[in-house]
Amino acid sequence: MKPVVQDLDDLRLAIDAIDDQLLALIQERIQLAREIGRRKQAGGQEITDSQRERSIIKRLDEQIRPGLSTRDIQAIYSVIFRLCRDVQES
């Protein structure tokens, strides 16, 4: 049997790998949001699209598993939405 410390190290390495993937995906999302912002500005559209944000939360809410709640998804995505709006406005 593996020592508990080794098990923790393995689990932490798995979390580190997931964190790396999350960061890469967030950066990719921000790049896409930047391009959307350019197109919105060129078309004279508002940056904030509350209806789109609500539809994303609703879609994700339908996919959540035990351990996460709608409130958790809203908290996580409120930060992501803010970051994306910030790059769209710049």
Q: Is the overall model pTM greater than 0.85, yes or no?
A: no
Q: Give the distance, in angstroms, between the CA of residue 43 and the centroid of all CA atoms in the same chain.
A: 26
- The DSSP secondary-structure symbol of 27 reads H
Q: Quick check: 33 and 88 in contact, CB under 8 A?
A: yes
Domain span including residue 18: 4-89
d(CA 65, CA 23): 22
pLDDT (tens digit per residue) in 27-78: 999 999 999 999 999 999 999 999 999 999 999 999 999 999 999 999 999 9
CATH of the domain at 68: 1.20.59.10
Q: What's the number of domains the chain is made of?
A: 1
Angle, helices 70-89 vs 50-61, to 10°: value is 150
